[in-house]
Structure 1
Amino acid sequence: MEKEMKGNVSQPLACSNASDRIDPYGFERPQDFESYKEMMNEYVVVLNRRSMRWSKLLEGKADVEKNLTVKRYVRKGVPNEHRARIWMAASGAQEQLQRNPGYYHSLLAAEHDTKLEETIHTDMHRTFPDNVLFQNNTEPCLQGALYNVLLAYGHHNKAVGYCQGMNFIAGYLIIITKDEEKSFWLMDALIGRILPDYYSPAMLGLKTDQEVLGELVKAKAPAVGQLMDLYPGIWTLVVSRWFICLYIDILPVETVLRIWDCLFYEGSKVLFRVALTLIRHHQPEILRARSLPDVCECFKQITRGAFTLDCHTFMQKIFAEPGSLSMATINKLRETCRQQIMAEEARQP
């Protein structure tokens, strides 16, 4: 078993100097460090203001209630010092942790599946190679904690075990919580409740949501919908990584964390809001595509640049740009798309 990580520090690293080009979460930023610094110089004012308001909201409260005020605060961003607590409370992970004392450590202490161990080990060096916190020569190195969380989860949810993409999610959770047990229960909330069937062997939930996005695009950006219909199976090519990695390595880290604030609080419809905003905002570029490779390249490019780097403005856009989007609408589309996928798979030899 890997060495267990100790302690629970919810703050990010102190921001490194410009020559290091490392952000507060340990990621090296050789390409856009200057624009990132400029954005953060402005965003830190927002963060400080939000931090004071969050501290006042939570002062003297043992539990975090779910209400319209908290929802509004979450949409405006959760400061890092409160992030682990809010994620745990909003997702139900805190309740599960309290109901199952010692369960996480019992999973690590039990006999392990050799194949599961080998599969996880294979992905260790592929997890955030550009993050100093996951490099073997740093102290503390978070690889041991990452291994433990993935191994415990693989034994906890044998139907899922381990699949690629889960390492990045666990890695982000550990960076924020600095706590293995909390990261484990947040994984359980994401994979077991918020994103069911995304990571199962058949990945039916993931396939379904890709098609749901296609239907939503037809309704909210019809010209793009018509273009995409020219290329059967296109949604799998262009957005499967968006959904399975929950925008990790797709969008800037601050933006991803703001999306996750809402994902843990409001559920999976936030993923659709992000995708629809990216697509609607970049309609002209997408519509200029003249081939399948053009479309794929365009979908890579639309996740980069100033629009997604400015996380505060971007998050305001995702709740305005796509218009109304209810869970009832999404669930209805999910049922239809799921049935179509299952019927198609049944017809295949």
Structure 2
Amino acid sequence: MERESKGDATQPLARSNDSDRVDPYGFERRHDFESYKEMMNEYVAVLNRRSMRWSKLLEETPQVEKNLTVKRFVRKGVPNEHRARIWMAASGAQEQLERKPGYYQSLLEMEQDARLKETIRTDMHRTFPDNILFQSRAEPGMQKALYNVLLAYGHHNQTVGYCQGMNFIAGYLIIITKDEEKSFWLMDALLGTILPDYYSPDMLGLKTDQEVLGELVKTKAPAVGQLMAQYPGIWTLVVSRWFICLYIDILPIETVLRIWDCLFYEGSKVLFRVALTLVLHHQTEILRARSLPDVCECFKQITCGAFTMDCHTFMQKIFTEPGSLSMATINKLREKCRRQILEEESRRP
């Protein structure tokens, strides 16, 4: 797959081969390369089928609309060659880009905040040290594109500025879109609309959603809910990274990209479906935990292995195992949890 000659990230994707054990996205896979290769050998047939169906659908209706057919197609996976287009259309980012031509460039040309620049620079070398496209010895395209997107976003959304975790999200967006401006607008859709207040200074949205997950677990896996209730603040310990990094570095990349397909199309409830599926599928292991360190270790382990590696089966599970989960239910729980968090914070000295 060749990169488009647009934006700064123009080098071709790393190609996977046995000698360097690098996947198609540039990630070195020293520890799980064989299982990844095995999974991909089977998954490639699914990808080819999906690719043909998507190409036919987009030929017939080039304007991507939200309807049951497209939703079904998105849940079954968007092929890489169509991902940027589908994400842009589904999230409203394309509309924003067209409404504000030149805006992204103007953010890069304005007078830069020295403190913001320094904070972003500090995080550059921490972003995907295991990805050959982001290593400093690689061509500067990817790092430069990443820096630009984060700097522009910091000026665009000054309430948020820059927060750790955003570098990984921007990095994934650049790998997939191969375009700075599109990555910027997708980031805006995620942080401004799909996940409001996850990255604000008080991270109220993130804190709220961790507690919402706790409430959902009480309903859908009561025994696990009871166990977790013994440890106040436990959800922050075990799932804050799941949510703030949108499962990057938690789940395998093919699985993360499939989750993101649905996240851009269906919104934040997808994050809860993933978390609930992991908990429901591993109830037996979680219930064996006898201490706080046990629980934390178990939550690390349940994200690994064949269950999450097989992205196609995993994605089918997230829409069946947790049962019904409406946005109305989530919003009701969000109101309740947000109120509790604010009340607790107001009581602190």
Same fold (TM over 0.5): yes
Shift, 1:278, TM fit: 0.2
Aligned to 1:67: 67
CA contact (8 A) 1:11 1:80 kept: no
Amino acid at match of 2:261: D
Q: What secondary structure is seen at the aligned counterpart in 2 of 1:149?
A: helix
CA distance in 1: counterparts of 2:14 and 2:59, whole angstroms: 25
Matches within 5 A, 1:140-159: 141-159=141-159
Shift, 1:138, TM fit: 1.7
Aligned to 1:208: 208
Residues 91, 122 of structure 1: alpha-carbon distance in 2 compared, 3 angstrom cutoff: same
State yes or no: 1:7 paired with 2:13.
Answer: no
Residues 10, 267 of structure 1: alpha-carbon distance in 2 compared, 3 angstrom cutoff: farther
CA contact (8 A) 2:16 2:22 kept: yes
Matches within 5 A, 1:287-298: 287-298=287-298
Aligned to 1:342: 342
CA distance in 1: counterparts of 2:142 and 2:156, whole angstroms: 21
Aligned to 1:106: 106
Identity rate of aligned residues, in percent?
Answer: 84
Query: What 5-or-longer segments of structure 2 have no aligned partner?
Result: none
Amino acid at match of 1:347: R
CA contact (8 A) 1:209 1:334 kept: yes
Shift, 1:273, TM fit: 0.2
State yes or no: 1:305 paired with 2:305.
Answer: yes
Point out the more displaced range, 132-141 or 36-45: 132-141
State yes or no: 1:279 paired with 2:283.
Answer: no
Amino acid at match of 1:101: P
CA distance in 2: counterparts of 1:183 and 1:126, whole angstroms: 19
Shift, 1:18, TM fit: 0.8
Residues 14, 171 of structure 1: alpha-carbon distance in 2 compared, 3 angstrom cutoff: closer
CA distance in 1: counterparts of 2:171 and 2:60, whole angstroms: 31
CA distance in 1: counterparts of 2:230 and 2:119, whole angstroms: 38
Amino acid at match of 2:120: I
Aligned to 2:164: 164
State yes or no: 1:78 paired with 2:78.
Answer: yes
CA distance in 2: counterparts of 1:177 and 1:140, whole angstroms: 17
Point out the more displaced range, 54-63 or 300-309: 54-63
CA distance in 1: counterparts of 2:314 and 2:345, whole angstroms: 37
Aligned to 2:231: 231
Amino acid at match of 1:22: V
Residues 89, 59 of structure 1: alpha-carbon distance in 2 compared, 3 angstrom cutoff: same
So what's the TM-score if we normalise by structure 2? 0.97
Q: C-alpha deviations, 1:213-260, integer Å up to 9, x for none? A: 000000000000000000000000000000000000000000000000
CA distance in 2: counterparts of 1:60 and 1:212, whole angstroms: 40
Amino acid at match of 1:214: G
Aligned to 2:315: 315
Q: What secondary structure is seen at the aligned counterpart in 2 of 1:144?
A: helix
Q: C-alpha deviations, 1:245-304, integer Å up to 9, x for none? A: 000000000000000000000000000000000000000100000000000000000000
Residues 227, 10 of structure 1: alpha-carbon distance in 2 compared, 3 angstrom cutoff: farther
CA distance in 1: counterparts of 2:208 and 2:138, whole angstroms: 40
Q: What secondary structure is seen at the aligned counterpart in 1 of 2:137?
A: coil
CA contact (8 A) 1:12 1:175 kept: no
CA contact (8 A) 1:16 1:23 kept: yes
Shift, 1:135, TM fit: 1.1
CA contact (8 A) 1:127 1:167 kept: yes
Q: C-alpha deviations, 1:70-129, integer Å up to 9, x for none? A: 000000000000000000000000000000000000000000000000000000000000
Q: What secondary structure is seen at the aligned counterpart in 2 of 1:59?
A: helix
CA distance in 1: counterparts of 2:60 and 2:308, whole angstroms: 36
Residues 62, 11 of structure 1: alpha-carbon distance in 2 compared, 3 angstrom cutoff: farther
Shift, 1:140, TM fit: 5.3
Aligned to 2:56: 56
CA contact (8 A) 1:224 1:287 kept: yes
Point out the more displaced range, 248-257 or 60-69: 60-69
Amino acid at match of 2:167: N
CA contact (8 A) 1:116 1:161 kept: yes
Shift, 1:6, TM fit: 5.4
Shift, 1:63, TM fit: 1.7
Shift, 1:61, TM fit: 3.8
Shift, 1:141, TM fit: 3.6
CA distance in 1: counterparts of 2:68 and 2:10, whole angstroms: 25
Amino acid at match of 1:13: L
State yes or no: 1:17 paired with 2:17.
Answer: yes
CA distance in 2: counterparts of 1:76 and 1:234, whole angstroms: 33
State the number of aligned residues: 345
Shift, 1:13, TM fit: 2.6
Q: What secondary structure is seen at the aligned counterpart in 2 of 1:317?
A: helix
CA contact (8 A) 2:206 2:244 kept: yes
Q: What secondary structure is seen at the aligned counterpart in 2 of 1:44?
A: helix
CA contact (8 A) 2:116 2:151 kept: yes
CA contact (8 A) 2:10 2:141 kept: no
So what's the TM-score if we normalise by structure 1? 0.97
Amino acid at match of 1:7: K
Shift, 1:16, TM fit: 1.9
